[in-house]
Amino acid sequence: MLTLYTNYATPNGMKVVLLLAELGLDYKPVEVDFSKDEQFSPSYLQISPNNKIPALVDSSDGGELSLFESGAIMLYLADKSGRFISREPRMRAETIVWLFWQNASLGPMLGQAHHFSTFAPERVAYALRRYFDEAQRLYRVLERRLGESSYLGCDEVSIADFAAYPWVNEMRHAAQGIDLQKFPNLRDWLTRIASRVAIAKAYSEHPQKALAVQHIA
């Protein structure tokens, strides 16, 4: 039995949901309610010591394994299922590089853009400019990569793509100060990921809301 602790309203919350949908794996969903501070409850901290989502508990092999950090969860599920990560060492390494890049750079920096453009109680022009500029840089990194390769990890879809997609889908661009017309390779990739049956089904079951934005000007 797989139990996924997540919050569907967030990009990080959707990453593992997308992978599980693609793998066709049954799991028990437990939504963590931030408005009730459930991420700080003692029972949840036993599973996710960093009080973040998502977290996964796998009790399917007789024992019980608790995992936190979305990248680690995705790598674990890909290895366990033998899908969405190559066993060829170079291709595997490339996929892991882009998975780690998403976890270390794309997610945290775009998350800051979301915070200061949408959720901050006051408008901070310096922070908006800093994180909008960083968003532009990260999108240029994506654009270059997708000009070299059909997908982030290699020429086949992988966990790196499922990790990045929720952060750069059409509901997020305004909150990041992004004009997607400047990124044709990324637009093509977004269309290909969005058209996958499992991805479309996951988002139909957990619809996302566009973020209201404070602009710099």
Residue pointed to by tokens 């998350």 = 111
Answer for the pair 151, 160: CB distance below 8 angstroms, yes or no: yes
Q: Measure the CA–CA gap between 211 and 114, rounded to whole angstroms.
A: 8
The yes/no answer on whether domain 89-205 falls in CATH 3.30.1050.10 is no
90 burial via Cβ count (<10 Å: 0-12, 13-18, 19+) = exposed
Q: Judging by DSSP bridges, how do beta strands 2-6 and 28-31 pair with one another?
A: parallel
- The maximal CA–CA distance of the chain, rounded, in angstroms, is 57
The reported pLDDT for the residue numbered 193 is 98
- Taking each helix axis as running N to C, give the angle between helix 159-168 and helix 70-81, from 0 to 180 degrees, rounded to the nearest 10: 140
User: Side chain identity at 94, as an amino acid letter?
Assistant: E
60 burial via Cβ count (<10 Å: 0-12, 13-18, 19+) = middle
Q: In what order do the strands lie in the sheet with 28-31?
A: 28-31, 2-6, 55-58, 65-68
Domain 2-81 in this protein, CATH class: alpha beta
Q: Over its length of 217 residues, how does the chain's per-residue pLDDT go in tens digits?
A: 999 999 999 999 999 999 999 999 999 999 999 999 999 999 999 999 999 999 999 998 888 999 999 999 999 999 999 999 999 999 999 999 999 999 999 999 999 999 999 999 999 999 999 999 999 999 999 999 999 999 999 899 999 999 999 999 998 999 999 999 999 999 999 999 999 999 999 999 999 888 878 776 5
Q: Where are the alpha helices (DSSP H) in 33-124?
A: 42-47, 70-81, 89-101, 107-114
- Which helix (H) or strand (E) segment holds residue 58: the answer is strand 55-58
Find the radius of gyration of the CA atoms of the chain.
17
The reported pLDDT for the residue numbered 214 is 77
Is there a common fold for 2-81 and 89-205?
no
Residue pointed to by tokens 């988002």 = 203
The reported pLDDT for the residue numbered 2 is 97
The reported pLDDT for the residue numbered 6 is 96
Q: Cα 160 vs. chain centroid, distance in angstroms?
A: 9
Q: Measure the CA–CA gap between 42 and 71, rounded to whole angstroms.
A: 23
Q: Which residues contact 128 (CB under 8 A, 6 or more apart)?
A: 116, 117, 177, 214, 215, 216
What residue segments make up the domains of the chain, in order of their start? 2-81, 89-205
